[in-house]
Each structure stands twice: as structure tokens, then as C-alpha cells.
Chains A and B, each alone.
Chain A
């Protein structure tokens, strides 16, 4: 009797499922087809660039889709030395290393105090930071150029933070990263429990120590997300270095890549150009493949808050 009931139940489930399937239609193949088309749309331009980077100049200009007769790795050597991609990449790494570290340090300090310590003017400072989210940076470009120029005239530290200096660019990056960093992290600090920090205070820990040894480790998921967000944002920045760095040897990678094409003449070394483009894309592809989960959640977390 029981076996019969369970048989009937199982059978009717199967029926219901196949009925549902019929109603939903044979979408399986079409679904994959649609997704496959976008996959190709994303990948083909990138793979095509990789292909062109090992072609000779003649092969690039003869037929867009021809395969190279020989793999010309010397294109990469020229991109690295003569197009100075190596130098630009090193500059980018130095600038972003310092600016992201600085952004996270002062950003988390400000966010923590604003989230956890009520005092007169707290809200005013918070809104001062957050209002920066709505300003278009293009309004500030001209005055910013002169602010940085004037900083260069300061005694002693001036030569290090004026125009054409990496330290100057680092400070600008930190300042322009504040709105989002403070906005996101103070929301994050507010969600953390207060009890642990209070207990440590009772035991005699200072405010500073509570922040660095208790609150910061507790805020790790938020810190990681925003660190990724800032690394990518600052690595990909083009507008700010464009006005602040004029000397070629100071340029960051985005400027180097953009310059190859905007300054393109007929004597352009096109195969080295494709190699340079590949050198800019490939490391991102590798880093992204390894950390794709963290990167996806880091970049989208801001929108979901």
C-alpha cells in the first residue's frame, strides 16, 4: 500500500515536471546560443589583438584575419623598450601601490571615526565627503592643476608633490578616492558590533589600538572589497594623470597606451602597438582570472549597499 502511494506520488511529480518543461519550451539551446554570442562578442576583439601582437607589420595591414607566418616575439621587446611600456607599467605600479595603501589608511580612519564617534560637526564632515560622489571631476580640473602647481612651490616638500611628480599624483588619487571609500566603509563600520571594542577599552586599550587591532580586522571583508575597488579605479585612471604628468618618463600605463594611438603617425610601429596593447590587457586578464570572485564582489558591492 505504502509503496503504491509513493509510486503514485513519484509518478505524478514526474508528470508535473515534464508538463512544466513543455510549458517553458525548448529554451535550453537558444539560451546557450544567446550567451555564446555575447561570449564571442567579448572575447573576439581581445583575442584578435593578441593575434595581431605576434604578426609582422605587413601581415597586420594585408588581411585582418590572416594567421602570422612566424610568431614575432620581438614585437614585445620593442613595445617594452621603445614604446616604454615597461617604464609606464612600473610607474603605474608604484603610484597605485602608494595611493591605494594611503587611501585605505586615511579613508578607513575617517570612516571609523565618523561612523562610531558622535561629536559636533560629525554629520557635516560626513556629508562633505559624501557630496563628492555627485561632483563631476571635470569642473575641478583647471583649479586642481594650479593647486598641484602651487603645492610644488612649498618649501622643502614642494619639489616632491608638485606637477610631474608621482607623490603629487598619489595625494590627488587619495583625495579623490575619499568620497566612495568613506561612504562605503562608514556604512560597514556601523554594522559591526560595539561590544568587543568596548571590552578592550575597559581593559585599558587606547582608541587607536582598538581601531588597528580590533575594528580593522573585524572589518576585513569590507576593507578587501574597497581595496580592490580602489586598486582598479586608480590603475585605470586616465583623466587626472593626463593633466598632472607632462614628462614622458613619469607617465602611467593608460597614458602610454592612449598616446600610441592619438599620436599615431604614418611611421607608427603598429606591430609594437598591438604588443603594447596586449601587455596592458594580459596581466589584467591573469589577475582577474585568479581573483575574479573577489573582484566581482568588490566592484559590485558599492552598488548593492
Chain B
């Protein structure tokens, strides 16, 4: 008996040792250190860090570039989920309930789902380079070529301060929509077809089918989508860093928190200051997670 207890303990320890040690060294330790580094004036790879308390945070409050980045993350946090979810819900509804009888999927719905989802499997860095070419400012750009052929002025998708942010948002939506179409389709498939049929027999049209049946029954999935897209909006880095001019430009018009942290740490080697930004970003992310968990407590509809 005692031997069995010993064997069980040994098994647990041996199975947990590798993952826990790796996780402590590479994930937990860096996160904890970051909070301390944020309180130092550490600059340069070899310099010794000196404790300076909250000075970095004081400076951060006056750093207009960082607050510009925060504003962009905030705008993305609202717009990216909103636009993506509306488009994805629309397509998921058409694909699954858009058939002629009103309850079945339409022809070719599988084909559409396969195509829509594809951008999701591409690396963000690859998508960024792809759209850099699509958005070229002259006649060689995929979009500006036809525009100029029609006699219109070329649009500075990435070079115009007022347009660049929207280009970033558009690419993010382009990549994300397919994933949520598939996610919502899976949710729709688990709603019994009788629901739609019963509603139709009672005289529901397509609009009320969508707003009174589909949306309430999919609400849980929509909330999950909202949280995922929100995190995506707060974490955005590669698309801005690789696609935009001056890595967050022109003139900081598209910069985001992650880009400023990376620039500060590995461009200027201001490790203390970069960590302070990281701490602010940490609280934004955790705050968003807690807030969305709070707001999403709603009665589940059982069916």
C-alpha cells in the first residue's frame, strides 16, 4: 500500500517535472522580472540597472507617442470585434440558414467556408507583406493600378496619415472573418432545425429569424468571439511592424503598444522603460479579460 502511494507520487512528479520547470524558467520568471525591471533605469545590454521607483511610469504619462499607440489599440478593440462579428454572423447565417426553404444551408456552403477560412492559416507576417504589395502607392499596386487606369488619383493606403490605420484594420478583418464564420457555423449547426421551422410556420421572415432565433441562441459563441478578437486587438504587432511605413507610421499614425515596447527594448535598448510599457499593457489586457468575463455572465439558453 505504502509502495503504491510512493509509486503514485513518483509518477506525478516525473510527469510534471519537465513542463513545470520549462514553464517556470521561460514564462513565469520573465513575467515576474519584468515587473521589477519596470522600476529600474536599465539601458543598454551591459549597464547595471538602478532602482528608480515609479519614474518610468511618470515619464510614460507624458509620452504622447505611447498614448497614441494606446488610442490605436483602443480603437481596434472596439472596431475589430464589431466589424468582424457583424460580417461573420451575416455570412454564417447565409451559409447555414440561407437556403431556399429557409432552414437549410445553401448550395456550395462548404466551398465558401473553405475559402473564407484560408487567410487564417497564413502567418500574420506573410499577410503583412502580401498587403504591402496590394497597397503599393503607384500603378504597380493591386488596388491603385486599376484606380489610376480609371483616371483617379492613387490612394496612399499606407502613406496617407488618415488612411493607414484603416488599412491595418481592413487587413485584420480580412484575415479574421473566415475563422468566425466557421465558429458561428458550428454554433448554428448545434441549434435544432425545428426551431427555425417552427418560427417560420409561425410566420417569421428572414430578419426576425436572424434577430429572434439565431442571435439569441448564438450569444455565447458571439461573446467568446468578442473576447478572442479583443485580445487580438490588444496584442497586434506583426501586421503593424511589417506592413506599415516606418514600423508604425507614417508619423506614428498606426503604431500600437506592442510595437512601441519592441522598439523601445530592442531598438533603443531602454529595457526599464519598455518594461514599464509592458506593465501598462498587462493591466489593460487583464482588465479587459476581467471586464468581459463579468459582462458575459448571462443566463444560458438550454436547448
Interface residues of A (CB under 8 A from B): 16-17, 20-21, 23-25, 27-28, 31-32, 34-35, 38-39, 41-46, 48-49, 52, 60-65, 106-107, 109-110, 112-114, 117, 119, 125, 128-129, 132, 134-145, 147-148, 151, 171-172, 174-176, 178-179, 182, 206-208, 211, 232, 235-239, 242-243, 253-255, 257-258, 260-262, 274, 277, 280-281, 284-285, 288-289, 292, 295-296, 299-300, 303-304
Contact A258 B183 (CB under 8 A): no
**What are 28 A-B contacts defined by CB distance under 8 Å?**
A24-B205, A45-B142, A62-B139, A106-B18, A106-B22, A110-B19, A132-B23, A137-B235, A138-B278, A138-B281, A139-B261, A141-B262, A141-B265, A142-B37, A143-B29, A145-B266, A175-B23, A182-B19, A236-B123, A238-B124, A255-B125, A258-B128, A258-B242, A261-B129, A261-B242, A277-B130, A280-B123, A285-B118
Contact A284 B205 (CB under 8 A): no
A280 closest partner in B (C-beta):
B126
Which stretch (B55-63, B92-100, B295-303) binds chain A? B92-100
Note all chain B residues with C-beta closer than 8 A to A16: 201
Contact B278 A257 (CB under 8 A): no
**19 additional contacts (CB under 8 A) given A134-B286, A142-B30, A178-B23:** A24-B102, A35-B112, A46-B130, A64-B142, A109-B15, A113-B12, A128-B28, A138-B237, A139-B34, A175-B23, A176-B27, A178-B22, A208-B11, A239-B237, A254-B125, A281-B122, A281-B126, A285-B118, A295-B117
B292 to chain A, nearest CB (A): 11
Given that A113-B16, A139-B282, A175-B23 are contacting pairs, would A64 and B177 also be in contact in the complex, using a CB cutoff of 8 Å? no
Contact A35 B95 (CB under 8 A): yes
Note all chain B residues with C-beta closer than 8 A to A107: 19
A175, A179, A211, A255: which has the most chain B beta carbons within 10 Å? A175
Note all chain B residues with C-beta closer than 8 A to A303: 183, 221, 224-225, 228
Distance A141 CA – B91 CA, assembled complex (angstroms): 38
The answer to the question of B289 belonging to the interface, with a C-beta cut-off of 8 Å to chain A, is yes
Pick the contact of B266: A24, A211, A243, A285 (CB < 8 A).
A243
Contact A142 B265 (CB under 8 A): yes
Contact B112 A45 (CB under 8 A): no
Contact B182 A300 (CB under 8 A): yes
Counting chain B residues whose Cβ lies within 8 A of the other chain, the interface size class is: 35 or more
Total inter-chain residue pairs, C-beta < 8 Å = 289
Pick the contact of B22: A63, A174, A261 (CB < 8 A).
A174
Contact A109 B18 (CB under 8 A): yes
B31, B121, B206: which has the most chain A beta carbons within 10 Å? B121
Note all chain B residues with C-beta closer than 8 A to A243: 266
The answer to the question of B156 belonging to the interface, with a C-beta cut-off of 8 Å to chain A, is no
A297 closest partner in B (C-beta):
B186
Note all chain A residues with C-beta closer than 8 A to B50: none
Contact B100 A28 (CB under 8 A): yes
Contact A299 B115 (CB under 8 A): no
Distance A184 CA – B119 CA, assembled complex (angstroms): 24
A17 closest partner in B (C-beta):
B101
Distance A170 CA – B136 CA, assembled complex (angstroms): 36
Pick the contact of B125: A39, A211, A258 (CB < 8 A).
A258
Note all chain A residues with C-beta closer than 8 A to B211: none
Distance A172 CA – B22 CA, assembled complex (angstroms): 8
A211 to chain B, nearest CB (A): 8
B45 to chain A, nearest CB (A): 9
Distance A43 CA – B119 CA, assembled complex (angstroms): 9
Contact B121 A119 (CB under 8 A): no
Q: Which 8 A-B pairs have the closest CB atoms?
A: A64-B145, A139-B278, A175-B26, A236-B123, A143-B30, A140-B30, A143-B33, A207-B11
Note all chain A residues with C-beta closer than 8 A to B124: 236, 238
B227 closest partner in A (C-beta):
A303
A22 to chain B, nearest CB (A): 11
Distance A39 CA – B112 CA, assembled complex (angstroms): 7
Note all chain B residues with C-beta closer than 8 A to A32: 106, 108
Interface string of B264-289 (1 = CB under 8 A from A): 01100001001100110110011001
* Contacting residues of chain B (33-85) with chain A, CB-CB under 8 angstroms: 33-34, 37
A41 to chain B, nearest CB (A): 7
Interface string of B1-30 (1 = CB under 8 A from A): 000000111011011101110110111111
Note all chain B residues with C-beta closer than 8 A to A24: 100, 102, 200, 205-206
Contact B281 A136 (CB under 8 A): yes
B299 to chain A, nearest CB (A): 19
Note all chain A residues with C-beta closer than 8 A to B20: 110, 125, 128
The answer to the question of B134 belonging to the interface, with a C-beta cut-off of 8 Å to chain A, is yes
Contact A35 B91 (CB under 8 A): yes
Pick the contact of B115: A42, A52, A125, A148 (CB < 8 A).
A42
